[in-house]
Amino acid sequence: MFTHSVSIGRYFGIEVRIDPSWLVIAFLFGWSFYAQFQHVFPDLASTTNLLLSATSVLVFFGSVVLHELSHSVMARRLGIPVEGITLFLFGGVTKTRMEASKPRDEFLVAVVGPATSIAIAGVLWALVNWGSVLIQGPLAYALGYLGWLNLGLGLFNLLPGFPLDGGRVLRSILWATGGSLPRATRRAAGVGKLIAAIMIAVGLLSVFTGNLGGLWMAAIGWFLYQAAVAVDQDVVLKALLQEVRARDLMSPNLITIPWDATIRDAVDGYFLRYDHSAFPVVGRDQPGLITLRAVRQIPNDQWELREVWTATTSLDDACTVGPDTPMDKVMEKLREQEGEQDRVLVVDGDRILGIITPRDILRWVRRSEELGLAAVDAEL
Ligand SMILES: [Zn+2]
C-alpha cells in the first residue's frame, strides 16, 4: 500500500505524504461543499462558491493533517519512532516503527488525535462567533460547517473499535486493567469488527432507500473490517509462533549450489528447476547466498564465464537466525526486511541448517490448524 505516495513536506519534523487515492476524497468533499453552499446561499456566484469550496477542502485537509500530526508528535515525545503520515482514500494513517510499550503511552498517543479534531472544531466556532466582522455570510457558514465536520471526525474516531483511535483507547484500558496485550488487542479488534459490520449494514440499507452516500459509509466499514481482521489474525499468529523454534519450522533439506558452478549452471540447474528465489552457496570457507535478484543484474553473455561465488552475498545478522530463535522473533525479522529479501537462513556457526520463508510459516500454520494443534483461541 502507498507505494505511489508523494511527499508534501515535513511538519514538526514529521514527513507528510499523499497517496493518489486521496485526490478522490478531496474531489468528493469539494463537490459536496459546493452543493451544500449553493443550497444554503442560492444567490452565491459560482466562482465565489468554487473559491470557497476549494478553500474548505484545504482547511479540511489541514485538519486531518493536524489530527495525524498530533498522534505523531505525541508518539515521538514518548520515545516511539515515527516513520511518517500518509493521507489516503479513507483519511490518514500515522506509521510508527514500533508499538507503545506501556498502556499509558498507547492511551495518550491514541486519544490526542480525536482531542485535536474536537479542539479544531472549537477554534473554528470561536472564529465564527467572536471573529472579526470580516467573517460572516458564506465564509462564516463554511467555517461553522467545517467545525461540525471536525467534531464528527473526532467523535467517529472515538468509537471503541480497533483500528479506530477509540479502539486503541479501549485496548490500552483493557491492557492496563489486567488483561494481556494480545487479549486486549483481540477484544478491541472484536468491537472493531462489530462497528464495521454495523456501518456496512446501515450503509447498504440506506443505499437501498435511495441514499447513495450510504455506499461511502459501507466502504469505510469494509476497510475497517479488513483492518480489524488483520490485527486479530496477527495476534493469533504471534501467539502460535511464540511456542515454536526456528529449527522446528525451517525447511531442512536445503538445495545448495557449489561455489565454483557458473551462473549458467545455477540458472539452468537451480533457478529454473526449483521454486526458490535464493540458494545457499557452499564449499568455500564462508557460506553465502545467491539470489534471483543478483543473477538478474548479471548480463546474459557473462553467465558462462562467471562463477556463482562472485555474485553471492555473505550471511550477515540481517538474514540469519539461530536454531533456537522463537518463531515470533523470526517473523519480526522477516517483516523488517520487507521487500529486501523474503527469507532467513537458520545457521549454527558456519553451518547452514535450513531456510525459512513466509511460505514456510503459512504452511506450518495451515498444517497445525488441520491437525487441530492451533488451539490458541482458548488460551488468549
Ligand atoms: Zn487518529
Annotated domain spans of the chain: 6-158, 180-241, 247-379
d(CA 295, CA 101): 42
pLDDT over 80 (residue 262): yes
Distance 326 CA to ligand 1 centre (A): 33
What does the pLDDT read at residue 193? 94
Return the pLDDT at 128. 84
**What is the reported pLDDT for 364?**
84
The residues whose Cβ lies within 5 A of ligand 1, an ion, are 113, 165
Rounded distance from Cα 41 to ligand 1 centre (Å) = 33
Report, in this order, helix, strand and coil percent for the chain, each rounded to 5.
Answer: 60, 15, 25
Mean pLDDT of 178-201: 90
CB 166, CB 184: distance < 8 Å? no
Least Cα distance to 163 among 201, 191, 183 occurs for: 191
* Residues 94/85, Cβ–Cβ less than 8 Å: yes
**Which amino acid, one-letter code, is at 168?**
R
For residue 168, report the distance from its CA to the centre of ligand 1, in Å.
10
Please give the distance, rounded to the nearest whole angstrom, from the Cα atom of residue 94 to the centre of ligand 1: 8
Quote the ligand 1 centre to 36 CA distance (angstroms). 26
Q: What is the pLDDT of residue 167?
A: 92
Instruction: Say which residues have a Cβ less than 8 Å from residue 358's Cβ, sequence separation at least 6.
Output: 334, 342
Q: How far is the CA of 106 from the centre of ligand 1 (A)?
A: 12
Q: Angle at Cα 254 formed by Cα 248 and Cα 256, nearest 5°? A: 155
Distance from Cα 113 to the centre of ligand 1, integer Å: 5
Amino acid identity, residue 125?
Answer: W
Least confident of 206-215, 295-304, 362-371: 362-371
Q: Is the pLDDT of residue 1 over 60?
A: no
Residue 117 has pLDDT above 60, yes or no: yes
Give domain 247-379's CATH architecture. Roll (3.10)
Positions annotated as catalytic residues are 68
C-alpha of residue 105 to centroid of ligand 1, in Å: 15
Higher pLDDT, 313 or 261: 261
Which has the minimum average pLDDT: 17-26, 83-92, 192-201?
Answer: 83-92
- As separate numbers, helices (DSSP H) first and strands (DSSP E) second, the chain gives 13, 11
Q: Which of 350, 358, 355, 261 is nearest to 312 (CA)?
A: 261
**pLDDT over 80 (residue 145):** yes
